[in-house]
Amino acid sequence: MGEEKLFFVYVKALLLSVMFFMSLQIMAVSLCVSKDTVAEMNKKQPVYFVNDTYVDSEDFEDMQILEDIVSIDVIKDADKNPQLKRLFDKYGKNVGLIFVRLRPGIDIKGVIGPDGKRLESERLPEFPGGKTAMFNFIEKNKKFPFALLDKGIESGFAQVTFVVKSDGTLSDIKVTKSTAPELAKEAIRVVSKMPKWIPGKKGGIPSDYTRTVNIDFRGIIIR
């Protein structure tokens, strides 16, 4: 594996570790505190800056910029730096400030607005009602295959990619990763049942987008 590929693996591992650490913190606190406190913990997202531009955490996770990343710096303490202290004061005591630098020639200012969110003209496709509605739809419709229970398998996952067309319909639904063929088949069935999405836009024009959804079959869900 070349040095460039090794760097991309490192970058991906670093980003995933930050997000995983954040989820563990929220999970641990949720076991022993009130719902109001858990809600506050859920707000503690990493704060991202791409080429010194603030990017909302959800929008950052949807940006396909991995191969354009040159460096990543994760800072969890102001360390007597007045400029960093101002950022912590502005965005709160989150998991940390993550500074991402892209290779020369890559500009996100035409995609991200001053509030850190994608501009309306560059909108990503969205399940009707947002991510929470999509997760609820998946939970309601997924079924754990009986064939796996007979084999003593009670959990697993499948990663599904598909294209959200400019009219909101889904096409090219396929599984890219799964722990069992039966779960791959079930994941395709569930995604195929989804209603039309709100289509995405590029340059203000409704356009096709490829999206990825991970379906977790943890625990036995039989309907």
Q: What residue ranges define each of the domains in the chain, with the CATH number in brackets?
A: 3-117 (no CATH), 131-216 (3.30.2420.10)
Q: What is the mean pLDDT of residues 127-156?
A: 90
Between the alpha carbon of residue 201 and those of residues 45, 131, 165, 213, the distances in Å are: 26, 18, 10, 19
Model pLDDT, residue 44? 64
Model pLDDT, residue 128? 96
Q: What is the pLDDT of residues 169-179, one digit of tens each?
A: 999 999 999 99
Helix (H), strand (E) at residue 140: helix 131-141
What is the pLDDT of the chain when averaged over all its residues? Answer: 80
Tell which wins on pLDDT, 168 or 2: 168
Model pLDDT, residue 221? 39
Model pLDDT, residue 161? 95
Tokens 């836009």 sit on residue:
201
DSSP state of 211: E
Tell which wins on pLDDT, 165 or 58: 165
Q: What is the pLDDT of residues 22-54, one digit of tens each?
A: 443 433 333 334 444 434 444 567 899 999 999
